[in-house]
Structure 1
Amino acid sequence: MNTHHDGPDRDHRRPDGVSDTLVEALGSLSKALETTERARGHLYGFHQLTGSADLELGRAVELLREAGHPEWAERVREEILGRDVIPGHWTFQIVEAYDDTYYQPFKDLERAAVDELAEGRTHLYEAEMKQARRTDRPGSAS
């Protein structure tokens, strides 16, 4: 079992020749990708919520007809139900475009930078911060 005096495990130990500035730069690149992961999650939330709303609109159309308001049922059906969220696109197409145009290239670039500049060792910045902030308290994980 490692103690905090042993330093990070091998997979998170800085390779020879990797400077403080490079560790910080790769940490910033990783943090930016993590933020992008969160943004992507919100985009999927947008996609799912919009899809759920559209399905509920279908129910509203049926209920408006049953309630004796076919003109309102038809108006909802024609004006909103199944409508593009931006011209020519449903939300799944926005998600696909984001993934193809931004997310995947960003993810690939971050991986390539870590592979080339840090021998594939991820989270060096965080591992070193963990070592610097650790104490010998019971329950401190290695």
Structure 2
Amino acid sequence: MADLDPAHARPPGTSDELVAAVGKLSEMVERVERARGALYDFHQLMGGADAMLDDVVDGLRATGHEAWADRIATELVGRNAIEGRWSFQIVEEFDDCYYGPLTDTERALREDLMAGRRHVLEAEMKERRRTRGHPRHTATPSAGE
């Protein structure tokens, strides 16, 4: 495709099938990125929720409900999100066990099979779908067609 910038052009001799397979892996990584974001949302929500319990305990003590304050302080404040782990440990384990190896593998595959180029499939799709000559359909940011 003539107007693709070198950072997104497929390497010479690369088949459509390989571009599609690498593109699918890229899409998969994007999906895992979203899952990881949800995991970080969970981590921050759990931390904030746990911190709110301090106000609950203080409010119960201030209103003379020591038994309930003690129960919540003992049973809920600082409780593990899952067995043996707070949410930060869940995030770390996910990053170490799944996310890190996935992104390392995806990067290595791109380096080996696509000369390090990212989003080749999408760049080619853009090139097929854009309207040449339209000021909002340029091939690259600096292209003044």
What is aligned with 2:36? 40
Q: Give, in whole Å, the separation in 2 of the partners of 1:7 and 1:75.
A: 67
The DSSP-based 3-state class of the residue aligned with 1:107 is helix
Q: 1:10 aligns with which of 6, 9, 12?
A: 6
The DSSP-based 3-state class of the residue aligned with 1:11 is coil
Deviation of 1:139 after TM superposition, in Å, equals 1.8
Deviation of 1:141 after TM superposition, in Å, equals 3.4
Alignment of 1:36-115 (within 5 A): 36-115=32-111
Q: 1:138 aligns with which of 123, 129, 135?
A: 135
Amino acid at match of 1:140: H
Consecutive unaligned residues of structure 1, counting only runs of 5 or more, are none
Amino acid at match of 2:126: K
Q: Which whole-Å deviations, capped at 9, do the CAs of 1:33-78 have from their partners, x for residues lacking one?
A: 0111111111000000000000001111011100111111111111
Q: Give, in whole Å, the separation in 2 of the partners of 1:128 and 1:122.
A: 11
Contact 2:57 2:72 in 1 (8 A): yes
The DSSP-based 3-state class of the residue aligned with 1:12 is coil
Moved over 2 A (4+): none
Contact 2:60 2:68 in 1 (8 A): yes
Q: Give, in whole Å, the separation in 2 of the partners of 1:77 and 1:19.
A: 62
Consecutive unaligned residues of structure 2, counting only runs of 5 or more, are 140-145
Aligned length: 138
The DSSP-based 3-state class of the residue aligned with 1:10 is coil
